[in-house]
Structure 1
Amino acid sequence: MGQNVLITGAAGYIGGSVLAEFVSRTSGSIPTAKINAAVRSEDQVQSLSGLGVNVIQLDLSEEADVLETILRNDIDIVLLASDAKALTGSQSSVTTLFSEEGGWIYGEVRDTDSIFEKEKELGESHPVRQTNIVVVEEASRQGVASYNLAIPTVSDGRGSGECRKLSVSIPQYVRTSIKHKTVYRFDKDGVSSSATLVGGKSQCTNTNQSPPAAHISDLTALYALLVEKIIQQEPFPSGKNGYYFAMAHRAPWWDVMDGIAKSLHARGLVDEDRVQVWQSDKMAAEYLGFPELYVRAMGTSTGELVPVNANRLGWEPKWDKERFLESIDDEVQAVLELDTVKATVFDALKTPSA
């Protein structure tokens, strides 16, 4: 018997692309499921109405409405692909939580490590970390499985959904560069220091730990893989052990900014093809519209992340660092063609003073 799947944020970049991936499937377990898509507005309902799925207008902040929707539609699996932060299902976290800039103090981390216990030790100072903890604990109390996909801040590629087709990070750098006629970068390019013991003396070495990244097509493939295995009732790590780093490769920020500068300068949209350094984190936050508290983590995060769980499931990303860097001009062109949505999922993280 097919199961009922609810995708939240189905008009967004990731949620919409996941929905498109599911709708396009003609084999496997996903076509046997009834797909429900949660969106915020009536316009979004109309945009998705021709996909052959049950589109639901839903405010995820209204707990009673969410519960009623789940019960009325007999939902079995929930995919939290929205900026609100999982019944059996998966939620989207972010990989920056596991970087030094994101408050991670434990160094190298595999998604097979005891991450939940470490997040508990760090406390709930970060709103996404707080969500991770709440989801695992509440799912355990309710007797359902939960899975946590840590999504890279650098998610690239044109979305395949009906509404939002652009990610957040790179498009915002492109917009900001055009507005100020200059491409900026941070003074750090994702290089982390590590100490090794040589001849009885500690020596400090630098290792290239650029931010994790993944193409949108690889992300949707991972979501589909997880849901296929849930529907088929295959046993795989969940709850406290159910962390999955959706990391296909790394994205060296300075190379990315150089690519953006060359692309925009060739189009006459910035004054120089050289990249300048932000004068301060405050300047970066003001120009980009990102919360100052997290802007450095979002723009320089390193993180010694080692993805294991997703690969064990059989995830095989098609994109690597070289292919990503070669596509920067396409990323710029996508912003120029598709930039109709200026809202950012990071608005919810801004403090009143930001």
Structure 2
Amino acid sequence: MAPKILITGSTGYIGGSVLAAITRAHPEYEVTALLRKVTQTYVDAYPRVKTIVGDYDSAEILANAAAESDIVIHAGDSDHKGAMVALLNGLGRRTTTSFLIHLSGTACIADFYSQKFLGVLNDRVWSDVDDIEALVNLPDDRIHRHVDKLVIEAAQTHGTHIHSAIMCPPDIYGKGHGPGITQSFLVPFFYDSILAEKVAFYVAEGKNRRSQVHIDDVMSLYVKVVEEAANSLKTGKIRDECWGKNGFYFNSSSEIVWKETAAATGKIMASLGLIDSAEPKQFTVEKVKSMLGGSGLGLYMFASNSRSRADRGKQLFGWTPTGPSYEEVMEADLIAHHKDKQRSIDVLLGRQGPTGK
């Protein structure tokens, strides 16, 4: 019997790509997607996918949907505690084996909490095998931790029939494959900040490093983890090394050095006539801290180290990244975001309809 799968976030960059990857790899799976609104475009693209209408605050809808699902893939808001509580409550109603696959991110290991490493290389590289004890016991003030902790402790608090995993990708690049957002997180943020400052930038030495991965490589690991869950449902055999306190999966494939990335981005944006000079400029910590609303997000995005090694997926499933490098798709990602912003401006000014080109 095909597993029943619930997917949240299916119009987002990652969640939409998960939906596309799972339905393409396994059209026999019974997939249900949570949507705020069901559009004809969505129905036409995924005629075999069932839909339920709701959002992350729709606790009862989420709980009921989870209770009816063998596998829940929560690929939406990583930090919405209420949504996770509702999904776990629903899975807790079940008496049969079920799986929860939750989307987190490597902000949880970024070192922007320490002034010492802002713009400076940190040699620390986290492994999802060698450092698993530290990862499942991160301080409670780390980004994503308040929800990740619920996932790690799911079986303990909601029933031993629940087997959970955390997918923890770094900065993702490349075009997404879903019906909604198809652009990554990092490139638009950096583009918009450069546009506002009229120059590409870095902090201190600009030697801070960030792990990267192409969206297709993230999806190939998602498919392998979902297949592991489906096979366990079929055989009744659970591999403990895949789930619970062991079920933490980095998705990293490569790294970037921030000053080098700033220089390459500045060159592209200068060639588009968006800034005058391709040469990046050194910014102070205080300047970057004030960006993106002054929340400190700028320090995480542009000045921190966030380095991870995807050992678990490679060891358990033979996962091998094959996607193009960040450098190979950076220009296409930037141009795509530039065109999207220009279309938005044109729509706002009435120069074309929202579907115009």
Bin for the TM-score computed over the shorter chain: 0.7 to 0.9
State the one-letter code of the partner of 1:56.
Answer: I
Q: Percent identity among equivalent residues?
A: 23
Given that 2:285 and 2:299 are in contact with CA atoms closer than 8 Å, whether structure 1 keeps it comes out as no
The equivalent residue for 2:74 is 80
In the alignment, which of 192, 195, 201 is matched to residue 184 of structure 1? 201
| Structure 1: tracts of 5 or more residues without a match | 192-209, 343-354
Partners in 1 of 2:103 and 2:302 — Cα distance? 19
The equivalent residue for 2:212 is 213
Change (3 A) 1:291 1:45: farther
Given that 1:187 and 1:278 are in contact with CA atoms closer than 8 Å, whether structure 2 keeps it comes out as yes
Change (3 A) 1:110 1:248: same
3-state DSSP class of the match of 2:27?
helix
The equivalent residue for 1:90 is 101
Query: CA offsets per residue over residues 195-232 of structure 1, 9 Å max, x none?
Result: xxxxxxxxxxxxxxx21111111111111111111111
Given that 2:154 and 2:164 are in contact with CA atoms closer than 8 Å, whether structure 1 keeps it comes out as no
Once the two structures are TM-superposed, the CA of residue 101 in structure 1 deviates from its matched residue by 2.7
Partners in 1 of 2:108 and 2:225 — Cα distance? 22
1:33 aligns with 2:29: yes
The equivalent residue for 1:325 is 327
Given that 2:78 and 2:103 are in contact with CA atoms closer than 8 Å, whether structure 1 keeps it comes out as no
Q: How does 1:138-177 map to 2 (within 5 A)?
A: 138-141=154-157, 142-143=159-160, 144-152=162-170, 154-177=171-194
Partners in 1 of 2:132 and 2:75 — Cα distance? 21
Query: CA offsets per residue over residues 317-343 of structure 1, 9 Å max, x none?
Result: 1136xx32132211211112334799x
TM-score (normalised: structure 1): 0.79
1:243 aligns with 2:248: yes
State the one-letter code of the partner of 2:155.
Answer: A
Given that 2:210 and 2:258 are in contact with CA atoms closer than 8 Å, whether structure 1 keeps it comes out as yes
The equivalent residue for 1:307 is 310
Change (3 A) 1:290 1:56: farther
Once the two structures are TM-superposed, the CA of residue 63 in structure 1 deviates from its matched residue by 2.4
Given that 2:127 and 2:309 are in contact with CA atoms closer than 8 Å, whether structure 1 keeps it comes out as yes
Partners in 2 of 1:333 and 1:290 — Cα distance? 27
Aligned residues: 310
Once the two structures are TM-superposed, the CA of residue 21 in structure 1 deviates from its matched residue by 1.5
Once the two structures are TM-superposed, the CA of residue 114 in structure 1 deviates from its matched residue by 5.4
Q: CA RMSD in A?
A: 2.7
3-state DSSP class of the match of 2:51?
strand
Change (3 A) 1:129 1:257: same
Q: How does 1:257-336 map to 2 (within 5 A)?
A: 257-281=262-286, 283-289=287-293, 291-292=295-296, 294-312=297-315, 313-319=317-323, 323-336=325-338
State the one-letter code of the partner of 1:99.
Answer: A
1:125 aligns with 2:124: no
3-state DSSP class of the match of 1:317?
coil
Partners in 2 of 1:5 and 1:189 — Cα distance? 43
Partners in 2 of 1:106 and 1:187 — Cα distance? 16
The equivalent residue for 2:19 is 19
Given that 1:278 and 1:284 are in contact with CA atoms closer than 8 Å, whether structure 2 keeps it comes out as yes
Q: How does 1:101-116 map to 2 (within 5 A)?
A: 101=112, 107-113=124-130, 115-116=132-133
| Structure 2: tracts of 5 or more residues without a match | 85-90, 92-98, 233-237, 346-357
Given that 1:261 and 1:274 are in contact with CA atoms closer than 8 Å, whether structure 2 keeps it comes out as yes
Once the two structures are TM-superposed, the CA of residue 183 in structure 1 deviates from its matched residue by 1.7
Partners in 2 of 1:35 and 1:240 — Cα distance? 27
Partners in 1 of 2:207 and 2:140 — Cα distance? 25
Change (3 A) 1:248 1:98: same
